[in-house]
Structure 1
């Protein structure tokens, strides 16, 4: 079962009124049908995964058209396989996740308590353009696993892909279960204004602020998966050639359009030239003749192409040394606004007054920063907004532990690209400016669930009566005696 990218018969009218109607439709269905059982949840998970698999070829073709050039394998791996394979992991563990939990202390207190994970209701998901399918399907699967209904606002930038995904989802799930909404910025604003039971957003910190503000007006809890200027600390003990090659591969992932890409690379001063040479060699080996290479993932649209060039030119105008990497005879044509290709570029001598020192690059450019003392690097990273991920190249020793202890980030990976992201039961998310909240596997199930405690006391008295009027003098004296005992115990511990 496939559907053309031009098929529009199942698309939802993106008007504010219709969005509210779809939300109400899902909310009424949730109330009418109650908490979905295991089989219902598994059916929805299976059907959503199947819808994406059945339309995989159409999705890959649409992504290539939307990006200008995006190899089929890149799209298949990152936007299709990566998301739907999690469905199998969820399937294998969902019964255990759904099981009620018993308080360990409750029975001893005469207050047995069970805690049952229950669905929040209707979850809204606002997706990004860089991995537009995977980064809405994965949280949607976890929200369905938790028993929720889901509304997805697909990015308007990969427009063709949005049409295919909307049709694919509609072919297997009703609007009462999962609804995909297409539309422009006005639609995104109207979507964020809806009184969801939870709102999940992936995108830039700037847009994340607006989404959080809109959700706050309705007291809707939010998960924000943002980005930031991810640092790389290359230790003096690291293999410079290996570090440079791996940083180059990481930077060029999805053409640099990845929230996990390294932005700033701190290299020992006497190794900067060796690092730059090894980085350039790695690019030439993996992406020769960059201007014409079919494996190059191009910049998504004109606006982002212009934004990346603005960062480069601002740095150049303020004294930075810009080094485009030569890869072949076609380099003279770069940057090329027609194909939206920008040569992989190293930036040296960046200063704090440059835009590139503060804005996430999101393109095939990396800033190289020499250092003499690792303490200065750690201090600079700690003083800046917390990134989504911090990278370290070198052995797992005292310096690496200090890097972990004295900086803060959503996650840390040593000697590779965001490996913590790839372990299915590890929470993924940012901190501060790089996001709030987590998902992936069980942490995602927990994000979209409410752990509801139910107490069934076995006390020989009523706690409500005990703590209420009348307030008897002898009871007050008992409380004071208890408080004095607690004071003495604490005072002894602190030496007071």
Structure 2
């Protein structure tokens, strides 16, 4: 039997499984549409315990999928924020679930207004390959906190992690509460066409459009966490060591395979060489070698490796100056999927790396002559998922905040806004829509139901027909002004 036939058969099984689980979760939700605080807390504790129990195996699986993924990076970016997110949610969930009282105008008294937070039903989550654990667990935390049933489609590019996560979930939850779906792109396409009560997708802008198009057929609300070209502005007067160190960390972490990684640097023209020199020094201190250094993560697969090499070849052919930061001057060939961080000078708009999200260890440097020019450069392009400003002048900080729009922002740091439990995470425009993390995650997966309540006395009858009475005239006099 040919490979394509086998894949087709496997895909059919996955799709049939998806349909069955979806129907089972719908029925289970109808039988228990309002899980108690205790139920939700127990589900979150069960998830936490499973993550702790499977921790070492998860780290090994992620490492296998990447061929070399730093254990510490997986702990810092996958395990730790997952555990901390559960802890934060457990601490605050009771308060989030309480109905919020709202004002009632004297026109409608006596009555009460409140907003109740109710589960939406069955939630679908589509997970990318770059952080396969955290980007599955983060939405799951929010969905369980809101009282939903959840189906999770893992990436086909992380087969070891996806299979292990499916095992973890199956050992911890009944299938009609949480279920993991694996399979190829055709399974993902079918998954996105299910009439979920909410769907969250993390991935590229191009695929996000397809997901949104499929969801629109069912009027399924979507949260899209996409990417884009997140800029880092180096101010005219920031100490270069500070800026270069923090940008180097954000770019080299997971070898740049991070949706909020600094995609390019806007640097004052007269400070460009200083940035290059300091970046080289800071990166070399963090990663004195690359090839056999387990701290430096590999590119996930041959497809992504070839894409990134193509960006470098295209830039070189169009006149760019490439500066490879390879401290030990190692040969990176022979099948290793590691690429040294490469700074790119003399960029032009027609270069592929200046048009597409890079998603790898390549960092173009664009020179500017004034902060206004840097801001205009950002505003002339699609709105990014993240924006980074490095400078201690408060007036410059406020100028950048007030004059730009991005999903999130760090001042004098990179990546770290994503790890803040009490900050929403999400994009704007081409970089996505909607938010989650913390309370915003609970709200995203909850239906915020407005409830207006009266008891026996009905003040509304005074404005019932027939119209034109003195009471109507008095009401209009007092309330239309």
The bucket for the TM-score relative to the shorter chain is over 0.9
Cα deviation, 1:302-337, whole Å, max 9, x if unaligned, reads 11111111111111111211111231141xx23x36
Hey, what does 1:490 align to over in structure 2? none
Q: Hey, what's the Cα distance between the residues in 2 that align with 1:440 and 1:24?
A: 28
Shift in Å, 1:376: 1.0
Deviates most, 192-201 or 266-275: 266-275
Q: Hey, what's the Cα distance between the residues in 1 that align with 2:207 and 2:260?
A: 18
Residue of structure 2 aligned with 1:430, choices 404, 427, 430 = 427
Cα deviation, 1:229-261, whole Å, max 9, x if unaligned, reads 111111111011221121111100111100111
Hey, what does 2:15 align to over in structure 1? 16
SS at match of 1:252: helix
Q: Hey, what's the Cα distance between the residues in 2 that align with 1:460 and 1:347?
A: 73
Hey, what does 1:202 align to over in structure 2? 202
Q: Hey, what's the Cα distance between the residues in 2 that align with 1:74 and 1:421?
A: 15
Q: Hey, what's the Cα distance between the residues in 2 that align with 1:299 and 1:329?
A: 19
Cα deviation, 1:182-239, whole Å, max 9, x if unaligned, reads 1110010010000000001111111111111111110000001111111111111101
Contact 2:118/2:446 (8 A) holds in 1: yes
Q: Hey, what's the Cα distance between the residues in 1 that align with 2:104 and 2:267?
A: 52
Q: Hey, what's the Cα distance between the residues in 1 that align with 2:376 and 2:352?
A: 20
Q: Hey, what's the Cα distance between the residues in 2 that align with 1:355 and 1:455?
A: 55
Hey, what does 2:186 align to over in structure 1? 186
Q: Hey, what's the Cα distance between the residues in 1 that align with 2:88 and 2:294?
A: 34
Q: What are the residue-to-residue correspondences of 1:92-111 with 2, within 5 Å? A: 92-105=91-104, 109-111=109-111
Q: What are the residue-to-residue correspondences of 1:105-120 with 2, within 5 Å? A: 105=104, 109-120=109-120
Hey, what does 2:48 align to over in structure 1? 49
When normalised by structure 1's length, the TM-score is 0.90
SS at match of 2:151: strand
Cα deviation, 1:387-433, whole Å, max 9, x if unaligned, reads 11111111142122111111110111111113322221111111111
SS at match of 1:405: helix
- After superposition, the Cα gap between the structure-2 partners of 1:459 and 1:384, relative to the gap in structure 1 and judged at 3 Å, is farther
Contact 1:200/1:223 (8 A) holds in 2: yes
Contact 1:14/1:182 (8 A) holds in 2: no
Contact 2:463/2:471 (8 A) holds in 1: no
Q: Hey, what's the Cα distance between the residues in 1 that align with 2:324 and 2:11?
A: 45
Shift in Å, 1:481: 5.4
Hey, what does 2:340 align to over in structure 1? 343
Q: What are the residue-to-residue correspondences of 1:199-278 with 2, within 5 Å? A: 199-278=199-278
Does 1:407 find its partner at 2:404? yes
Hey, what does 1:31 align to over in structure 2? 30
Give structure 2 stretches of 5+ with no counterpart.
Answer: 1-9
Cα deviation, 1:252-300, whole Å, max 9, x if unaligned, reads 0111100111111111111111110111112222112222322110000
Q: Hey, what's the Cα distance between the residues in 2 that align with 1:260 and 1:430?
A: 10
Does 1:128 find its partner at 2:128? yes
Residue of structure 1 aligned with 2:387, choices 376, 385, 390 = 390
Q: Hey, what's the Cα distance between the residues in 2 that align with 1:117 and 1:295?
A: 43
Shift in Å, 1:161: 0.6
- After superposition, the Cα gap between the structure-2 partners of 1:462 and 1:482, relative to the gap in structure 1 and judged at 3 Å, is closer
Hey, what does 1:417 align to over in structure 2? 414
Does 1:310 find its partner at 2:307? no
Hey, what does 1:67 align to over in structure 2? 66
SS at match of 1:262: coil
Cα deviation, 1:76-98, whole Å, max 9, x if unaligned, reads 23222211221111111111111
Residue of structure 2 aligned with 1:357, choices 338, 354, 357 = 354
Shift in Å, 1:112: 0.6
- After superposition, the Cα gap between the structure-2 partners of 1:338 and 1:109, relative to the gap in structure 1 and judged at 3 Å, is same
Give structure 1 stretches of 5+ with no counterpart.
Answer: 1-10, 487-496
SS at match of 2:436: coil
When normalised by structure 2's length, the TM-score is 0.93
